[in-house]
Structure 1
Amino acid sequence: MALARASALARASRARSRRRMTRARADQTGGRGAVGARGIEGATVVFVSWEWIDARASAAGARTLALVRGCVERGMRVRCVASAGGGEAQRRRLEEAGATTARAEANRGDALATAIGDEGCDCVVFDRFLAEEAHSARIRELWPRAARILDMQDSHALRRARARASAAGADAGEVVGAKPNARDLDQMREIASIARSDLALVCSPVERRWLERECGIDGKKLKTASFFEDAVDISKLSDEDFDARRGFVTIGTFMHKPNVDSVAWLRSEVWPLVRERLPDATMRVYGSYMTEAHRARFHDPRNGFELVGFAEDLNDAMSNARVLLAPLRFGAGIKGKVLDAWKCGTAVVTTPIGSEGTTPEEEFWHASTSEPIDPDHGWGGYGDVVTASEIADAAVRLHEDRETWSRARLNGAEIVNRLFSREKNVSDVLDAIEHVVTNIDTVRDDDYVGQSLWHHTERSTMYFSKWIELRETGTNT
């Protein structure tokens, strides 16, 4: 026992020495944050997350990997750090994209310092606010001039508020207007995380407007960072594809509650209505982390409802179907499955939750008075249906009407090219990051709320992280 305690104290002493050396280097070099006139070319950016970035498992992972690649192409040195163990395949794909990887257990200051390395960093991107809570205080202590960027992915507080509204019986049209209030704990944590950061990346323009107009976040701290998609070759979309395709498809990781709920509602209420009118129709369900419990609950091949599992080839899974069915009753952010369908020439039927953020003139939340979200109004299918019967009617209409289907898939491809261009969106996001990195002093001098949250009386996340480390290891680095 005494030997273990001595060993722990020795490790803590070595960690403190390394921190003092790192701070000394930071004082001498500007903490790497001063990249100067060269912009961010040659700068070091570190992506910090709980799980390994996995483009094959979710649309969020694909979006982050696209951002990693964009940083590499801009000439930045990229390092990806995750708290999870394992992940050999994911780490290999990140390294193939040009990044280096390292593991750092959460709430371990010494491990984080080792993972990032002696050279430090110019910028850190936190994957969701939980990673920012766990690691931002250590980053600030070790590399005070490194820009801290929060990548929200979606608003967790908004998603959970909508889940509560859905559970209380609201339909998808009502749920889309549900919002957390200022006393909601998830909301407080997420807003505080945004405020502590130098910049927050917001996936959906709808959420950005909400954060700025209703939550009081300074617009200078927010940057829309939706999806980064390669251009769709519209010339290859042919009406002849209609006869080559058949049936319906849906996709989404089963680690995400809105997706599981969507499949449950699809299986129990929507699909029987579709099969009444299309007795030979098939519904193929793809998704990562599908378990035997999910199969036992939903798989029903006799009625054309098949749980396939993980999609090894997303294009193959999507391109054989005419319609993507995504009856989401709650959720937040832009839905990657909708963009994936349009890239494959597949029309979409979804709720206002599923179509949110994909209409160019969208103003806050969709309402009954809003312009219809359908093929006649420039959308890639039907995106404002809310009841099981409305979804089934739209699904049958889109599946059976060649002209409507062709117009929908053309609209969808045009939306991808107009709103989600990889070339334009990655460049815009990196320009915003470059501005923060190269003007870090000015950014922080103007950020009164953010800097006040780093006052010692408000640094609860830092001390909570240190308490966890002390409880679990007996030392505090």
Structure 2
Amino acid sequence: MYNTQKVQSLLIIGFVWPEPNSSAAGGRMMQLISLFQKQGFTITFASPAQDTDFMIDLQAFQADKKGILLNSQSFDTFVQELNPSVVLFDRFMMEEQFGWRVAEKCPNALRILDTEDLHSLRLARQKAFKEKRDFKTTDLLIEEVAKREIASILRCDVSLMISEVEIDLLTTTFKIDTSLLLYLPLLLEPHAFLNLDTAPLFDNRKDFIFIGNFLHEPNWNAVQYLKETIWPLIKKQVPEAVLNVYGAYPSQKVLQLNNVKDGFLIRGRAVDAQEVVKQSRVVLAPLRFGAGIKGKLLEAMQCGTPSVTTAIGAESMQGQLPWNGFVEDNPELFASKAVTLYQDEKIWLEAQQNGFDIIKQRYMTTLFETEFKAQIQTLQGNLPQHRLNNFMGALLQHHTLKSTKYMSKWIEEKNKS
């Protein structure tokens, strides 16, 4: 085996400090920490990001916290002394910054990329939307970020993917070998979701809800779409309807959309996101571009709250199972289905059950943790051969290491003067 340490250690290099109450990405990171801890790993979480008021207390979760600097030799000393068995890069930008240093100082460490979602796919779809044209997969081939992201995937030993659609894109459009990709969606423990006995009843719920981090462009766009197009259509059919819009980091532009008369209420950050979702009757998520799988829609299922979303919103989430409500791209149909869910208890209950079924069959931690552990052990035990099989990754590692290394060292020297 490549690494013979008895107690295995994981170094996570985070783009930001985890905020599970602010975004699905924060929740995803805490799931990964738990998954590795169950395997006996000690965890160090390092990030060049500034501390925030809403970051989780990592030490309360038995993880060490370490601030690191970009373009600094101090990271080399830190990582060499830590000598981790596994290094996990949180998004490709962190692999770009620190991957060459890890490869140089800890060559025997298994390098994992957690993609979160394919950034290049989200950006290419966003560009197509803004240019008022349909997205084509060939758009990815000219997307600048795709070149960086694919290079990062190839340089790593394995990339964690939350979307089967994205795995298909990588293997068909970019010809990535499946041995470099591992499907691991958002995960839920059995106690993390309600059931028919514990979820608030239809009659005990009220209002529509949208929830999403406003630093994420697809969420801001969806709220604009609700305000301008969809909400007036719903309001026409249900004059007393109220839409509560929750989300971390709302800008002034978001706050200005608040209109009590129209029942369009900007609530800002939810103290407890699950609490506000489970008290609501219907989740609205008219996402027009994006990637990955949507934490807000999985959270709706957890809370027993049916949802109406778009094909982009539901992408890769339900497999062959019926949706937790309705999937509609046409705004009139979207509004009509939202009203149906809001008013028809029988249809609402069926949708709620669909959500519970999707969770049980696709998102339970128990469905993935054994296979995940086996895959990590296999990769660690076969790392030299695995890397030999990935010639394109070795080639990129060779050239990128040199170009990134000398650029970083130039910046480092510049910072000294």
Q: TM-score, normalization: structure 2?
A: 0.94
In 2, distance between residues paired with 1:262 and 1:235? 30
By how many angstroms is 1:360 displaced? Answer: 1.4
Q: Are 2:118 and 1:118 aligned? A: no
Q: Which has the higher contact order (CA 8 A, sep 6+)?
A: 1
Q: Which sits farther off after the overlay, 444-453 or 262-271?
A: 444-453
| Paired letter, 1:127 | D
**CA RMSD, 1 decimal:** 2.0
Task: Report the counterpart of residue 44 of structure 1 in structure 2.
Answer: 9
Assess, with a 3 A threshold, how the Cα gap between structure 1 residues 157 and 354 changes in structure 2: closer, same or farther: same
Amino acid at match of 1:202: M
**Other structure's SS at 2:116 match:** coil
Residue 95 (structure 2) aligned to one of 121, 125, 132: 132
* Change beyond 3 A, Cα 1:260–1:178: farther
Write the mapping of 1:25-104 to structure 2, written as runs, cut at 5 A.
33-35=2-4, 42-87=7-52, 90=55, 92=57, 94-104=58-68
Greater mean alpha carbon deviation, residues 337-346 or residues 206-215: 206-215
Aligned partner of 1:368 in structure 2 is none
* 1:380 maps onto 2:324 in alignment: yes
Is 1:220 matched up with 2:189? no
1:398 correspondence with 2:345: no
Call closer, same or farther: CA 1:100–1:452 in 2, change over 3 Å.
Answer: same
Check the 8 A contact 2:91/2:116 in 1, yes or no: yes
Contact 1:35 1:438 in 2 (8 A): no
- 1:267 aligns with 227
Answer yes or no: is the 8 Å Cα contact 1:155–1:333 preserved in 2: yes
Task: Describe the shift of the 1:124–1:457 C-alpha distance in structure 2 as closer, same or farther (beyond 3 A).
Answer: closer
The 5 A counterparts of 1:6-17 are: none
Given that 2:283 and 2:306 are in contact with CA atoms closer than 8 Å, whether structure 1 keeps it comes out as yes
Gaps of 5+ in 1: 1-29, 362-376
**Which of 295, 319, 339 is matched with 1:360 structurally?**
319
CA distance in 1, matches of 2:98, 2:281: 45
Q: AA paired with 1:247?
A: D
Asked whether the 8 Å contact 1:161–1:179 carries over to 2, the reply is: no
**Aligned AA for 1:187?**
A
Give the total of aligned pairs.
415
Alignment of 1:465 onto 2:417: no
Q: Is residue 95–residue 152 contact of structure 2 (8 Å, CA) maintained in 1?
A: yes
Distance 1:220 1:411 in 2: 33
**Equivalent position to 2:116, from 153, 164, 167:** 153
Contact 1:52/1:91 (8 A) holds in 2? yes
1:36-73 CA-to-partner distances (Å, cap 9, x unmatched) read: 7x6xxx21111102211221110011011111012112
CA change 1:427–1:473 in 2 (3 A) is farther
Please tell me whether residue 417 in structure 1 is matched to residue 360 in structure 2: yes
What is aligned with 2:69?
A: 105
Equivalent residues in 2 for 1:177-188, closer than 5 Å: 178=137, 180-188=139-147
| Structure 1 partner of 2:148 | 189
Name the SS of the counterpart of 1:101 in structure 2: strand
In 2, Cα distance between equivalents of 1:106 and 1:457: 17
TM-aligned CA deviation for residue 100 of structure 1: 0.6
Q: 1:335 aligns with which of 294, 305, 310?
A: 294
Q: Distance in 1 between matches of 2:99 and 2:185?
A: 23
**1:317 equivalenced with 2:276 (yes/no):** yes
Question: Using the alignment, how far apart are the partners of 2:138 and 2:173 within structure 1?
Answer: 10
1:458 & 1:77 partners in 2: Cα distance? Answer: 28
Gaps of 5+ in 2: none
In structure 2, what is the equivalent of residue 144 of structure 1? 107
Partner of 1:6: none
Aligned to 2:212: 252
Amino acid in structure 1 at the alignment position of 2:388 = D
Encode CA deviations 1:169-217: one digit per residue, 9 max, x unaligned: 24xxx44x55533232111111100011011111111101110122100
Any conservation in 1 of the 2:21–2:272 contact (CA below 8 Å)? no
Name the SS of the counterpart of 2:17 in structure 1: coil
- Give 1:87 shift: 3.7
> What SS class does the counterpart of residue 368 from structure 2 fall into?
helix
Q: Provide closer, same or farther for how the CA distance between residues 168 and 456 of structure 1 changes in structure 2, counting only shifts above 3 A.
A: closer
Instruction: Output the CA distance in 2 between the equivalents of 1:457 and 1:294.
Output: 40
Is the Cα–Cα contact under 8 Å of residues 120 and 140 in structure 2 kept in the other structure?
Answer: no
Q: CA deviation at 1:450?
A: 0.9
Select the structure of larger CA radius of gyration: 1
Which stretches of structure 1, 4 residues or longer, exceed 4 Å deviation after superposition? none
Structure 1 pair 307/233, CA: closer, same or farther in 2 (3 Å)? Answer: closer
Quickly say closer, same or farther: Cα 1:412–1:457, change in 2 above 3 A: closer
Question: Aligned partners of 1:343 and 1:165: how far apart in 2?
Answer: 32
AA aligned to 2:350 is R
Contact 1:318 1:344 in 2 (8 A): yes
In the alignment, residue 324 of structure 2 is paired with which amino acid? G
Report the AA paired with residue 105 of structure 1.
L
Judge conservation of contact 2:207–2:243 (CA < 8 Å) in 1: yes
Q: Aligned partner of 2:396: which letter?
A: L
CA distance in 1, matches of 2:275, 2:397: 49
2:394 corresponds, among 432, 448, 451, to: 451
Q: 1:91: how far off?
A: 5.2
Of 306, 320, 332, which aligns to 1:389? 332
CA distance in 2, matches of 1:284, 1:49: 32
Q: What secondary structure does 1:360 align onto?
A: coil
Counterpart for residue 165 of structure 1: 128
Judge conservation of contact 1:121–1:146 (CA < 8 Å) in 2: yes
Q: CA deviation at 1:88?
A: 6.8
For the Cα contact (< 8 Å) 1:200–1:222, is it kept in 2? yes
In structure 2, do the counterparts of structure 1 residues 112 and 66 end up closer, same or farther at CA, with 3 Å as the change threshold? farther
Change (3 A) 1:117 1:79: farther
SS in structure 2 at match of 1:118? helix
